[in-house]
Chains A and B, each alone.
Chain A
Amino acid sequence: MRLNRLDLIRHGRFQDFALDFGQAEPGRPDVTVVYGANEAGKSTAFMAWLDFLFGFQGASPYAFRHERRELLVGAQIETPDGRLDLRRSTATAGSLTDPNGNIIADRRMTDWLFGLDRDAYRTRFSLNDTVLREGGKEIAQAQGDLGQLLHAGASGLSGLSDALTAIEGEVAGFHKKGGKKTTANEGRNRLKELDAELRNVRLDPRAFDRLAKARDDADAAFSHADAALADARRALKLREAADRRRDMARRIAAMEAELADAPDGPDLPAEAVARVASAAEKCAGAEESLARARANTDAATARLAVLSEDPVGQQVAAHLATLDSAVFAEGEPLVPRVLTNLSDLPRRRGDLAGIRDAMAGLAARLTGTDADPGPIVLAKGTLGALRLAADDVRTSRAALDGETRARLSAEADQGERTDPPEGLDRLADALQLWHQAPDPHDSLLALEAAQAAVAHQTAGLPAGWRELAEAGLPEVAEIEAVTEAVQRAESDRTARARAEQEAANAREAALKARDTLAGRPDIVLDVRAAESRARRDQAWDAHRAGLNAETADTFAAAMRDDDAIQSRHASTAEARLRHSASEAELDARTTAHAEKHAALVAAEVAAGEAADAAAAMAVRLGLPATAPVKALRPRRDGLAEALRAARQAEAARDTADKLGAERLARLGALREALGASEALPLDDRLPAIAERALVKLKDQKTAADGWRNARKTIDRMTASEADAAERLSGFQTALATLLAGLWCADFDAGRVLGCLPDMEKLAELDEQRRQLDHRIEAMESAIASFEPLVRPLRDLLGLTDVAHPSELLAMARQRAAQAEKTAQAVAAERKQLDAASDAGRGAEAARAAGRAEIARILAGHACDAAADPVDMVNRLEARDRLRRSLREARAAFDAEGGDFDPDALAAEEADHDPVRTDALREDVGEADRQRDAALERRSQAKQSLETALAGDGGTAPDQERAALVETLRQGGREALARQFGLLAARSALRRFRQAHRGAMIEATEQAFAGITGGSWPRLDIQTVGANERLVGLRHGEPVAVGAMSTGTQGQLYLALRIAGHAQFVAEHGPLPFVTDDIHETFDDDRVGAALRLAASMGERGQTILFTHHRHVVGLARSVIPSVNVLEIA
C-alpha cells in the first residue's frame, strides 16, 4: 500500500485540507518530510492517517471544531486493487466509503494491511516518540511480535513454548501411559465399578433363567408334598368315619327299643302342642267374659229407670241457636252489635252537634257574615286545583322578573363587535400535513444500511455480477447435482484407478509367480515328458530297424534320458499343478486387469463430462472454468444475496426519493397557505414562520368568536323573557277560570293562597259530619231488626216486652243448658246397655271355636274326654321327637359312609385297634409339615423371581455409565486432537527457531551502527537467569539498554523498527512507514544517519516523517536530494 494523498476534510482544526504526497518515482527513495510548526496540526494529521486506516475510536480528541459525528478523513491510496479514493466517517457501520458513498468492506482494508490491527501497525509502522520508546522496551524484553523475532533463538518464543507445555499438561491430565490420576484412568476405574454394580442390579437373562428354574423346581416339590398330605388325610378320614359309624349303630338300637312303648297313631301336625294349649286358654277366657256381660246389662237398665228429659228447654236452645247465627249488614253477628249500639247511640249524637257548630264558625270567618256553611264548603279536588293554579301564577311572575334582570346585565357586558380572520383553516391544514409528513431520516438510514449490505455482499464478486445474477441463477439443486456428479465421478474415478492399479499389481504378481515356476529347471512339464517319450520311441524304432551298436547306444541314451525325465516328471507332479494354477491365475488376472482398465477409461470419460458440466456452471456464475466445484454454491448464494441486497437498496433509494419529493410538496402547500410570497423560504425554516402566523390568526378568531357568542346569548335571553311573560298570562287565565261561579270569584292568587287553610279545614269538618250521620243511621237500623227475632223466646219463657234484651238472653241460655245435660245422660246409659249385650254373644262364640280346634288336632288318637287335652298332646309330641331322632341317626350313619370304598370302610369298622386312629393322625401331621415346608420354598422362589422382576433394573448406574463414557469419548477425542496439534507445533517451533535465529539481531545491529555512526558496532543477546536481554557492545564491553543515554536508547529502538520493517516488507510487502518527531533526542549527526536509513527504507516502501524542526527539513534535503517536503501552515 502507498499513501498518495491524505484528505483532512473535517478533522481537528482542519477543514478541507489535503497533504499530497504525489506519486512514487521509480529508482528514487520514496521519502516525504512533512514540516509543521508547533500547533500546526502535524500530530492531528499523523493521527488522522491511523483513523483513516482503522476507523475512529471512542470519543475523539480531534472533535473540537467539528462534532464527532461530522469528523471525516479521506485518502488516495495505491492498493493491490488499484488506486482508490476513500473516505472514513464516524459511522458505527460502513464507515469506509468511496466518494459516491458506496461502502467498502473493512476486510478489504485488513487485506491491504496484511492483517495488521491498529496496535500492531502502530508498533511497526507508525511511531511517535512515546510509541518508539515504550514499544522498543517491549521488543528488547522479548515481548510482542518483533520481540519474539529478535529473541527467536530462546526466550522470545518462551511464551509460546510455555503455552505448548500447558497444553501438554492438559493432554497428560487426560491420558498418560502409566498415569494413575489421569481422567482416563479414573474413568476406567469408575466404569469397572459401574459394571460391577450393573451386574448386581440388572436382571440379565441368565439370572432370570436361574430364578425361573428355582421357581419351577419348588413348584414341583410342593405338588408332590401336597399329594402326600392328601393321601394321609384320606386314610385318617376313613378311619374316623368307621369310628363314628360304630357309635351311631349303638345309639340307633337304643332308640328303637324306647319307641316300642309309645302310643300308636300318626305324627302330630305342626305346632300341635302350642295350638292345643292356645285353644284351651281361649275357652277359659270366653267363660269369664260371658259372666261380665250379663252383670253390666242389669246395672244399665236400673239407671235408665230414674232419668226424665225437658222438651221446652230443648226448643229454647233451638231458638237461641237461630238468634246467635243471625247477622247484620256486612255479615257482622247481630246479637253483640245490638247490645253495643244500645249503649253507644247517645254519645254519637252529641259528637254530631259539636261538628256542626265548628263549621258555622269557619263559614263566618271566610265570608264575614253568618252564612250557611253548605255553599261555602268546596270539594277537595277544587281546593287542590286552586292551590296549584295560584302557585303557578306566583312562580311564573318571579321567573319573569329574573329573566329581565339577566338580559339587562348581559347587554351591559357585551362590548364592541370583532370580525373573524381569513385563511386560518387553510394554514392549519397545511401545517398539519407538514407535521404528518414522514421523517426522511429513517429512510436515509435504511438506504445507508442497504447500500452497506450491497457493498458487503458484492465484495469479492466480479464486475459484471449484476448481469450474471439477473440473467438467471441456476437452482441450488442444479448446482448440487453438478457438484455431486463431479464428486461422485471423481470418487468413482479414484476408486477405479485404485482398482485398476490393484488389478495391474495382481497381474504383475501372477506373471512373476508363473515365470518363477516356469523357470525352475527341476520341474518337468507334461510337454517335455511327452517329447522325451517320443524321442525314446523314435530311437527304439531306429534301433529295431538298424539293430547295430550305434542305434543301440542311441536308444540306450534316449531311454536313460527318458527314464530320468519321467522320474522327475513323476516327482514334480505337485509343482506342475502349481504351474498350471499360476497360468490360470495369470489369465484371470490379465482379464481382470483389462476389465478394470476399461472401467477406469469409462470413469475418466465420465469425470471429464462432469468436470465440463461444472466448468460450464462456473462460467455461468462468473467463476473461472477451473474453479473447484465447492466454489459454485457459495458463488451462487453470493450472487443471489447480492442481487437481493441491490434490489433492496434500489427500493430504499426509491423510498427515500419519494419521501423527499413529498416533503417538498408539503412545504409548497405551506407557502401557498401563507400567501405564496416568494420572500418566504421554501425550506425547514418555513414551518416555524407558519406556526407563528397561525398563532396570530387563532388569537383573532378567538376574539371574534367571543363577541358572536355573547350576541347569541343575549338573543337567547330575550326569547326566554318573552316566554316567561307568556307563561304568567296563561296561569292567570287558568286561575280565573277555576274561580268563576264560586263564592270567592273575585279573589286574586294571593288572597286565594291566604284563605286556602280555612277552606281546607271547613271541607274536612264537612266530611266528618257526613260520616257520623251515616253511622247513627246504621245503629238505629240494627236495633230495629233485633226485636222480631227475640219474640218467640219471650213467649216460651213467659217474659214481658219490657224486659231488657240482655236479661232475656241470660234466662234463655240457662234453660237450654239444663235440658241438654239431661238428654246426654239418657243417651250414655242406652249405649252401655247395647255394649253389654254384644259382649255376651262374642264370648259364647269364642268358647265354641276353642273346643272345635282341640278336637281337630287330636283326631285319630284314642282320647279320654275327661282328660286334660294339654297333657295328652304333650305325650304324643314326646313320641314324635323320638321317631325323628331315629330317622336322623339312620341318615347320619349312611352319610358317614360317604364316598368311601364300602369294603375298605367295612374293614376299618371291623378293625378295633385302639391306637390305629392316633397313628393315622400323626401321619397327617407329618405330611402337613412337609407340605408347609415345600410351600414356603415355593413361595420364596416365586418371591425371589418377582422381586427381581419388580426391581428398577440398572437404569441409574447405566445412565451414569453412559454419561461417563460420553465424557471420556469427547474428552479423549479433544485431548488426542490437541496431542496431534502439539506434535505439529513442537516440530514447527524447532524449524522456526532454526530459520530465524540471529537474522533479526543482525539487521538491527546494522541499522544501529549506521545511526550511531559506528559508535555501537555490535549487539548481543545475554542470558540473565531464565530471561534474556539485549545489550549493545561498545569498545568490546556489553552495555545494557537501560544504561544507554536517552538518545541512544531511542536510536536503538528505531534500529529495531527498521530491522522489523525490512523483515515485514520482505515477507509481505510495503506499507507506509510514518513517524512523528522521533528525532527529538538525536544530535544532528545521528539525525542525518537516521535520515539515510529512512532513504534506504524509502527504497523498499513509502516513508513519511513529520517534524517541527526546520533543520531536520534541511538535513533531509541534503541527505536525500529527491526528498518530497510538505508544509502545514
Chain B
Amino acid sequence: MRFLHAADLHLDSPLRSQALRDPDRARRLQGASRLALARLVSAAIEEDVAAVLLAGDIFDNRVGDVTSRVALATELRRLSRAGIATVMIRGNHDALLDYTRYGPLEEGVVILDAARPTLHVRGVAIHGIGFEERHVASSLLPRYPAAEPGLVNIGLMHTSLGGAEGHDPYAPCSEADLLGHGYDYWALGHIHKRFERRSETTLAVMPGIPQGRHAGETGRGSATLVEIDANGVRAREIALGAVAFETIEVDLARAASLGERQELIARALRSAARPDHEIAARLRIRGAGTLAAKAALAQRLAEEACEEIEGVHVEAVRLVSAPERIAPGVVAELAALMKQDAETVGFRDAALALLDDWRTAMPPDVAEAFDPDDIDALIAEGLDAVIARLTIEDEPA
C-alpha cells in the first residue's frame, strides 16, 4: 500500500528573489506553490496511493487570502474524484482550514484533531492531532493514541522536533520519544529541509517544503512516497518544485579578461541547468579582481551569461570581495588602520547607532534585515567592500 506525504506547502507564499522583479519571470513563477500542489495531486493519482498525508502548514499566515483555499479545494477535488482520501492536520499557519468559518474543503478530506485523532484507510490506522492555536509550546506526542495492534499505524505531526535552525520551536518533541511511540511511520511537518530518521521499527520523515521560496531553502522540493508492505516501510522522494534555489560557487581567479570571466560564469551556470525544473542561481564569486568592486557590472555579466542557458536565471550575485593580499603601500596601510578602528568599542557603538537609524527609517519588512546581532558580519563585509574598492582605485589605469 502506498501513501504520498507532504507538508509545508505554504500555498501562495511568494518567492523571495530579486530576480523576480523581472515581470516576465515573475509571471512565470508567481504560482510556483500552486504548481507544486498540482504536481503533488498528479503524482498521487499516477502512483495510485491510498491517501495523501498533509502534515500541516498548507497555507501561510502572511498571505491570508481565502482564494488560496479555493485553489486547494480545486486540486483536492481531483483526488476525491480519483477515490484518494486526503488526511491532514493543522499547522501553525493554517487558520484558513477553519471549517466553522469557511465550510468544509472537499469530499474525502479529513482533518485529524484531538476530537477525531484517528482515521482508518484500507486497514491502516492514521493518527494525528493538529494545532488548535497559533503556537503550541509543549509536545503533542502524549496526546497521540497508542498504536493499534495488528494494524499499520501512521502518525501525522507538525513539530520542530528538538529544534532546527531558522524554525521557531513548535510542539517540540524528542526524536527518541517519537520513534519509540510504536507507530510504523511518522509523517512530519514544519521543518523545510528534508530528512529521515529511522529506528528498527519506525521510519520518520520530514519531507521539507515542496517549493523552496528563497535562497535559504535550496534544492528542489519534494513529497515523499511511502510504501508499506510485508517487507516494512520504505520512502522515496518525488520531486515537485518548479524552481530550485541553488548557490553556485565560481572562482574567477584564473580569468585574465572580462570575457573569460563571463565564460567561467556561463560554464558554472550551464552545469547547474536541469531539464525538468528551473534553477534560481545565487552566484558566489571569488577571485573577481577589479570586478569585486563593480557589483552592477558583475550582475549584468552574469545575467548576460545566463541569457542563452535554458532553465536558469540569476537570483543574485554575491561577490566575495576581500582581497587575498594587499601589496604594501597606502591602501595596505589604510586597510590596517580601518581594521584597527573597527575593533574599537567606539566604532562598534557608532555602527550600532547607525544600524538603529536605518532600521527605523526602513519599512518593517525591510528593517528585519538589519539585525543588531549581525553587526560584526556587516562591519567585516563593509570593510572588505571598501578596501576592495580602494585597491582598485589605487591600481594604475
Does B301 make an interface contact (CB < 8 A)? no
Bound Cα distance from A978 to B393, whole angstroms: 16
Bound Cα distance from A110 to B214, whole angstroms: 42
Bound Cα distance from A956 to B21, whole angstroms: 11
Q: Which 6 A-B pairs have the closest CB atoms?
A: A981-B386, A981-B382, A977-B382, A988-B337, A962-B14, A980-B382
Selected from A202, A205, A981, the residue in CB contact (under 8 A) with B387 is: A981
B31 and A148 contact, CB distance less than 8 A: no
Does B253 make an interface contact (CB < 8 A)? no
CB distance from A211 to the nearest CB of B (A): 9
Does B275 make an interface contact (CB < 8 A)? no
B347 and A992 contact, CB distance less than 8 A: no
Does A231 make an interface contact (CB < 8 A)? no
Chain B residues whose C-beta falls within 8 Å of the C-beta of A109 in the assembled complex: none
Q: A955-B12, A981-B382 are in contact. Are A149 and B354 (CB under 8 A)?
A: no
Bound Cα distance from A184 to B361, whole angstroms: 9
Interface residues of B in 306-339 (CB under 8 A from A): 316, 325-335, 337-339
Q: A175-B358, A951-B67, A966-B18 are in contact. Are A116 and B386 (CB under 8 A)?
A: no
B65 and A977 contact, CB distance less than 8 A: no
Chain A residues whose C-beta falls within 8 Å of the C-beta of B355 in the assembled complex: 976
Does B143 make an interface contact (CB < 8 A)? no
Interface residues of B in 339-397 (CB under 8 A from A): 339, 341-342, 347, 350-351, 354-355, 357-358, 361-363, 365-366, 368-370, 378-379, 381-387, 389-390, 393-394, 396
Q: A968-B362, A980-B383 are in contact. Are A115 and B325 (CB under 8 A)?
A: yes
Does A998 make an interface contact (CB < 8 A)? no
Q: A145-B329, A966-B18, A1068-B328 are in contact. Are A985 and B67 (CB under 8 A)?
A: no
Chain A residues whose C-beta falls within 8 Å of the C-beta of B328 in the assembled complex: 114-116, 145, 1064, 1067-1068
- 27 A-B contacts (beta carbon < 8 Å): A115-B328, A120-B327, A120-B329, A149-B330, A156-B330, A159-B393, A159-B394, A160-B334, A162-B393, A175-B358, A177-B357, A184-B366, A204-B64, A204-B65, A954-B65, A955-B14, A962-B15, A963-B14, A963-B21, A965-B16, A969-B368, A980-B383, A981-B338, A984-B379, A985-B390, A988-B337, A988-B341
Q: Give A925-964 as 1s and 0s: 1 = Cβ < 8 Å from B's Cβ atoms.
A: 0000000000000000000000011111111101111111
Chain A residues whose C-beta falls within 8 Å of the C-beta of B64 in the assembled complex: 202, 204-205
Apart from A156-B330, A974-B295, what 10 extra A-B contacts exist at CB < 8 Å? A120-B327, A188-B362, A205-B101, A956-B30, A958-B12, A963-B15, A966-B18, A976-B382, A977-B379, A980-B354
Bound Cα distance from A953 to B67, whole angstroms: 6
Chain A, residue nearest B103 (CB): A212
Chain A residues whose C-beta falls within 8 Å of the C-beta of B67 in the assembled complex: 202-203, 948-953
Q: A205-B101, A974-B385 are in contact. Are A950 and B70 (CB under 8 A)?
A: yes
Bound Cα distance from A961 to B14, whole angstroms: 9
A110 and B65 contact, CB distance less than 8 A: no
Interface residues of B in 188-206 (CB under 8 A from A): none
B18 and A970 contact, CB distance less than 8 A: yes
A972 and B370 contact, CB distance less than 8 A: yes
Does B147 make an interface contact (CB < 8 A)? no
Chain A residues whose C-beta falls within 8 Å of the C-beta of B341 in the assembled complex: 984, 987-988
Does B1 make an interface contact (CB < 8 A)? no
Selected from B21, B325, B390, the residue in CB contact (under 8 A) with A960 is: B21
Does A1110 make an interface contact (CB < 8 A)? no
Q: Give B101-116 as 1s and 0s: 1 = Cβ < 8 Å from A's Cβ atoms.
A: 1100000000000000
A962 and B390 contact, CB distance less than 8 A: no
CB distance from A110 to the nearest CB of B (A): 7
CB distance from A124 to the nearest CB of B (A): 10
Q: Give B15-30 as 1s and 0s: 1 = Cβ < 8 Å from A's Cβ atoms.
A: 1111111000011011
Q: A175-B361, A968-B363 are in contact. Are A960 and B26 (CB under 8 A)?
A: yes
Interface residues of A in 352-389 (CB under 8 A from B): none
Q: A968-B362, A973-B370 are in contact. Are A985 and B338 (CB under 8 A)?
A: yes
Interface residues of A in 1050-1102 (CB under 8 A from B): 1064, 1067-1068
Does B82 make an interface contact (CB < 8 A)? no
Q: A205-B95, A980-B351, A980-B354 are in contact. Are A959 and B15 (CB under 8 A)?
A: yes
Does B66 make an interface contact (CB < 8 A)? yes
Does A163 make an interface contact (CB < 8 A)? yes
Does A982 make an interface contact (CB < 8 A)? yes
Bound Cα distance from A538 to B232, whole angstroms: 92
Chain B, residue nearest A202 (CB): B65
Does A461 make an interface contact (CB < 8 A)? no
CB distance from B391 to the nearest CB of A (A): 10
Chain B residues whose C-beta falls within 8 Å of the C-beta of A991 in the assembled complex: 337
Chain A residues whose C-beta falls within 8 Å of the C-beta of B384 in the assembled complex: 981
Q: Which residues of A contact B (CB under 8 A)?
A: 110, 114-117, 119-120, 143-145, 148-149, 152, 156-157, 159-160, 162-164, 167, 175, 177, 184, 187-188, 191, 202-205, 207-209, 948-956, 958-970, 972-974, 976-985, 987-989, 991-992, 1064, 1067-1068
Does B63 make an interface contact (CB < 8 A)? yes
Most B CB contacts (10 A, CB to CB) among A972, A973, A980 go to: A980
Q: A959-B30, A966-B18 are in contact. Are A977 and B333 (CB under 8 A)?
A: no
Bound Cα distance from A322 to B357, whole angstroms: 139
Selected from B102, B366, B379, the residue in CB contact (under 8 A) with A969 is: B366
B337 and A116 contact, CB distance less than 8 A: no
Chain B, residue nearest A962 (CB): B14
Does B224 make an interface contact (CB < 8 A)? no
A953 and B65 contact, CB distance less than 8 A: yes
A976 and B354 contact, CB distance less than 8 A: yes
Chain A, residue nearest B12 (CB): A955
Selected from B12, B26, B68, B326, the residue in CB contact (under 8 A) with A115 is: B326
CB distance from A131 to the nearest CB of B (A): 14
Bound Cα distance from A703 to B108, whole angstroms: 96
B347 and A981 contact, CB distance less than 8 A: no
A977 and B385 contact, CB distance less than 8 A: yes
Bound Cα distance from A961 to B63, whole angstroms: 12
CB distance from A266 to the nearest CB of B (A): 65
Bound Cα distance from A251 to B92, whole angstroms: 80
A953 and B12 contact, CB distance less than 8 A: yes
Selected from B18, B378, B387, the residue in CB contact (under 8 A) with A976 is: B378
Bound Cα distance from A1115 to B214, whole angstroms: 75
Chain B, residue nearest A953 (CB): B67
Chain B residues whose C-beta falls within 8 Å of the C-beta of A989 in the assembled complex: 334
A160 and B386 contact, CB distance less than 8 A: no
Selected from B325, B333, B379, B387, the residue in CB contact (under 8 A) with A110 is: B325
Selected from A163, A979, A1068, the residue in CB contact (under 8 A) with B390 is: A163
Chain A residues whose C-beta falls within 8 Å of the C-beta of B26 in the assembled complex: 956, 959-960, 963
Bound Cα distance from A973 to B363, whole angstroms: 14
A967 and B18 contact, CB distance less than 8 A: yes
Chain A residues whose C-beta falls within 8 Å of the C-beta of B387 in the assembled complex: 981, 985
Q: A974-B385, A992-B333, A1068-B328 are in contact. Are A203 and B65 (CB under 8 A)?
A: yes
B18 and A963 contact, CB distance less than 8 A: yes
Q: A958-B14, A992-B334 are in contact. Are A972 and B358 (CB under 8 A)?
A: yes
Bound Cα distance from A976 to B361, whole angstroms: 12
Chain B, residue nearest A157 (CB): B330
Chain A residues whose C-beta falls within 8 Å of the C-beta of B96 in the assembled complex: 205
Selected from B71, B366, B390, the residue in CB contact (under 8 A) with A187 is: B366
Chain A residues whose C-beta falls within 8 Å of the C-beta of B389 in the assembled complex: 163, 167
CB distance from A953 to the nearest CB of B (A): 4
Chain A residues whose C-beta falls within 8 Å of the C-beta of B357 in the assembled complex: 177
A959 and B66 contact, CB distance less than 8 A: no
Bound Cα distance from A719 to B222, whole angstroms: 86
CB distance from A891 to the nearest CB of B (A): 49
A979 and B30 contact, CB distance less than 8 A: no
Chain A residues whose C-beta falls within 8 Å of the C-beta of B68 in the assembled complex: 953
A976 and B370 contact, CB distance less than 8 A: yes
Selected from A117, A967, A973, the residue in CB contact (under 8 A) with B21 is: A967
Chain A, residue nearest B67 (CB): A953
A115 and B331 contact, CB distance less than 8 A: no
Chain B residues whose C-beta falls within 8 Å of the C-beta of A157 in the assembled complex: 330
CB distance from A144 to the nearest CB of B (A): 7
